[in-house]
Structure formats: structure tokens, C-alpha cells
């Protein structure tokens, strides 16, 4: 009897799934206030300027969960034909209202699976992995099928499509009325803008974010635009450079921003990312 009971008890345990579903929730904020289209936010950056959202879409990839003893366990993304395939997912915080361009649906949760276990942390990258980063958006599958988040394919996708309308604080002047944060790979070699590079780009610009105290069931990862722009003047644009920071090494608008995104810029390592926190 005892043996039989053991067998029957053991059988369901063997048949039970060895993986579990995991959801990683994200939120976007401006100095702690929820970020939405159609809202003006004040006190931004080094000049206390104001901003209004036009676009906020971010590619994330390379998710790993951390066990209590610090081991990284890969999390597999669940392809859904719209927001994520097995290698990359798109977070979308614009709903095409207010001054925002894009489309109505939001996507703030990454869905995947991981081996059954107890996890206490998460690691991931902002960016599109190199092997799928350099392709024609017209031919690419979701979520790389959007012309709004595409760049010429030599440099690959915009990892962050963040476009802002800006205005100076009272009594201050401005020389620019918009600021973009287009993070992407640079120095991808010579050649046509519409062919992929032969070798990896010198500046991949895929920041890694690591949180050792994160419980997927109770925590959210908050991307804060106010925090990442804290040292940047969003109402001026460096001469002879694209609007805001589009990742060029020549662009002075990127200096503070790259540091706070957690990226090395012009060989100078970041003092630590200030973009994402656990809440």
C-alpha cells in the first residue's frame, strides 16, 4: 500500500510541467508620475523645461531570471504575432491620443516561460539582438514590422523610439521644440544604408539592466523619463546634430543621456543607469 501511494503521488509530479509562465510588468513615468499621451510634464532636465509625449516605444530582449544564489536562468519569450517573437519584444506606451503618433493599443507586459523555480531577480537588455537587428522592416515579422521604429538597416532598429515635444520653463528661451531619444547601434561599417553590416557594430548600445530584488508577481519595472533626462537640456539641440540624441558619437546631446541609460559614451563608462527602477 505504501509503495502504491508513493507511486501515485510521484506520477503527477513527473507529469507536471517543468516550466512556468512568467510575466514581467513595465510602467513608464516622468519623475514618478505615470507617463501618458496628452499630458504635459514640467520641471524636466537641467533647465526645468516641460514636455509632452509623441512616442514611447522600446524594444527589450535577452531576459534572464535570477535565482536566490545569483544564477541566471534564460526566460523564453512567447511569440504572439504582434508584440513579441522568440527573441525580442516591444513595449508600447503610446495610444495615438493627444500629440502621440502610432496606434491605440498599449503593451506593457512581457510574457514568457522559465524553468520551474524560485526567482528573485531579472536581467534584460534594451535593444534588438544583432542577428535580427539589421533587416528591412517591410519584410520583417512582428514586432520588427513597424516603419516607425525602423531605421535604415545598416544601423538596425531604434531600440528606443522616444519623441517629445518640449517647451522652456517660464522666463527661459528655447532653440528647439522637440527632443528625441533614438537609441541604436552605431559605427556599423561602411556601405549602403539599406544593407546589413558584415560585422557587429562597434557601438552596439544595448544597455543591460540587472535587478537582484525583483518579484515578477508583485513588482513592476518603471522607466522614468524625468530621471533619464535629469542632466539634459531638452530645449536646445547641439549644432549640426539631429533632434535630441540619435546615438551619434558626435552628438553632444547624448553625453548625459547615455550615462544615465547606463551606456559607455566616447569611451567613458556610465556611472550607473538612472532610467529603470523596481517598484
Partner 1 sequence: MIKRAVVIGSIVVALGLAGLQASGASRVEALGDWVESHFDFRLPAWAPKPLEPRGNPTTAAKVELGRYLFYDTRLSRDGSMSCASCHEQARAFTDGRATSPGVTGEHTKRNSMSLVNSAYFPVMTWSNPLLHSFEQQALVPLTGTEPVELGLSGREDEMIARLKAEPVYPALFRKAFPREKGEISLATVTRALGAFQRSIVSFRSPYDRYRYEGDVDAVSDSVLRGEALFFSEKLECHHCHNGLNLSDSERHARNRLGAFAFHNTGLYNLDGKGAYPPDNQGIKEITGRAEDMGRFRTPSLRNVAVTAPYFHDGSAATLDEVIDHYAAGGRTLKEGPNKGEGRLNPLKSSFVPGFSLTEKEREDLKAFLRAQTDEEVLRDPRFSNPWPKP
Q: Which stretches of the chain bind partner 1, using CB under 8 A?
A: 52, 82, 96, 98-99, 101-103, 105, 136-139, 141-142, 145-148, 150-152, 163, 165, 176-180, 192-194, 237, 242-244, 246, 248
Cα–Cα distance list, 188 to 131, 170, 183, 201, 257 (Å): 13, 42, 14, 4, 21
CB of 37 to partner 1, least distance (A): 11
CB of 145 to partner 1, least distance (A): 4
Of the two residues 21 and 177, which places its CB atom closer to partner 1 in the complex?
177
CB of 165 to partner 1, least distance (A): 8
Of the two residues 117 and 152, which places its CB atom closer to partner 1 in the complex?
152
Q: Which residue has cell 519584444?
A: 89
The residues near 124 (Cβ < 8 Å, ≥ 6 apart) are 24, 60, 61, 62, 63, 64, 208, 209
**CA separation for the pair 257, 266 (Å, rounded):** 13
Cα–Cα distance list, 39 to 51, 57, 73, 100 (Å): 8, 17, 39, 10
Of the two residues 104 and 213, which places its CB atom closer to partner 1 in the complex?
104
Residue 265 contacts residue 204 (beta carbons within 8 Å) = no
CB of 175 to partner 1, least distance (A): 11
Of the two residues 237 and 273, which places its CB atom closer to partner 1 in the complex?
237
Q: Alpha helices, DSSP H only, in 184-250?
A: 225-228
Residue 147 contacts residue 135 (beta carbons within 8 Å) = no
CB of 142 to partner 1, least distance (A): 7
Of the two residues 177 and 252, which places its CB atom closer to partner 1 in the complex?
177
Q: Alpha helices, DSSP H only, in 119-187?
A: 130-133
Count the Cβ atoms, other than its own, within 10 Å of residue 268: 11
Of the two residues 68 and 249, which places its CB atom closer to partner 1 in the complex?
249
The residues near 197 (Cβ < 8 Å, ≥ 6 apart) are 134, 154, 188, 189, 191
CB of 237 to partner 1, least distance (A): 8
Of the two residues 22 and 89, which places its CB atom closer to partner 1 in the complex?
89
CB of 255 to partner 1, least distance (A): 18
CB of 136 to partner 1, least distance (A): 7
**CA separation for the pair 62, 88 (Å, rounded):** 8
Of the two residues 90 and 114, which places its CB atom closer to partner 1 in the complex?
90
First and final C-alpha spacing in the chain: 51
**If we measure between CA atoms, which residue out of 201, 194, 261, 251 comes closest to residue 231?**
261
Amino acid at each position: 500500500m505504501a509503495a502504491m501511494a508513493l507511486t501515485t503521488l510521484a506520477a503527477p509530479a513527473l507529469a507536471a510541467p517543468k516550466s512556468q509562465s512568467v510575466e514581467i510588468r513595465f510602467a513608464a513615468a516622468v519623475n514618478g508620475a505615470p507617463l501618458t499621451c496628452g499630458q504635459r510634464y514640467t520641471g524636466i532636465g537641467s533647465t526645468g523645461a516641460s514636455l509632452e509625449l509623441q512616442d514611447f516605444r522600446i524594444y527589450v530582449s535577452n531576459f534572464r531570471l535570477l535565482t536566490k544564489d545569483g544564477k541566471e536562468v534564460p526566460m523564453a519569450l512567447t511569440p504572439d504575432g504582434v508584440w513579441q517573437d522568440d527573441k525580442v519584444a516591444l513595449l508600447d506606451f503610446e495610444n495615438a491620443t493627444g500629440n502621440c503618433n502610432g496606434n491605440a493599443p498599449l503593451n506593457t507586459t512581457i510574457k514568457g516561460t522559465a524553468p520551474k523555480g524560485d526567482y528573485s531577480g531579472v536581467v534584460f537588455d534594451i535593444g534588438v539582438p544583432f542577428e535580427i537587428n539589421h533587416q528591412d522592416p517591410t519584410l520583417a515579422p512582428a514586432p520588427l514590422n513597424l516603419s516607425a521604429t525602423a531605421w535604415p538597416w545598416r544601423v538596425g532598429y531604434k531600440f528606443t523610439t522616444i519623441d517629445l515635444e518640449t517647451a522652456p520653463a517660464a522666463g527661459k528661451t528655447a532653440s528647439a521644440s522637440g527632443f528625441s531619444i533614438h537609441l541604436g547601434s552605431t559605427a556599423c561599417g561602411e556601405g549602403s544604408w539599406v544593407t546589413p553590416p558584415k560585422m557587429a557594430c562597434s557601438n552596439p548600445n544595448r544597455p543591460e539592466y540587472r535587478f537582484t530584488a525583483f518579484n515578477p508577481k508583485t513588482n513592476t519595472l518603471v522607466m522614468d523619463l524625468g530621471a533619464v533626462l535629469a542632466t539634459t537640456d531638452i530645449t536646445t539641440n547641439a549644432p549640426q546634430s539631429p533632434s535630441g540624441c540619435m546615438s551619434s558619437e558626435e552628438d553632444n546631446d547624448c553625453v548625459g543621456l547615455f550615462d544615465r541609460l547606463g551606456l559607455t559614451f566616447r569611451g567613458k563608462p556610465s556611472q550607473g543607469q538612472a532610467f529603470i527602477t523596481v517598484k
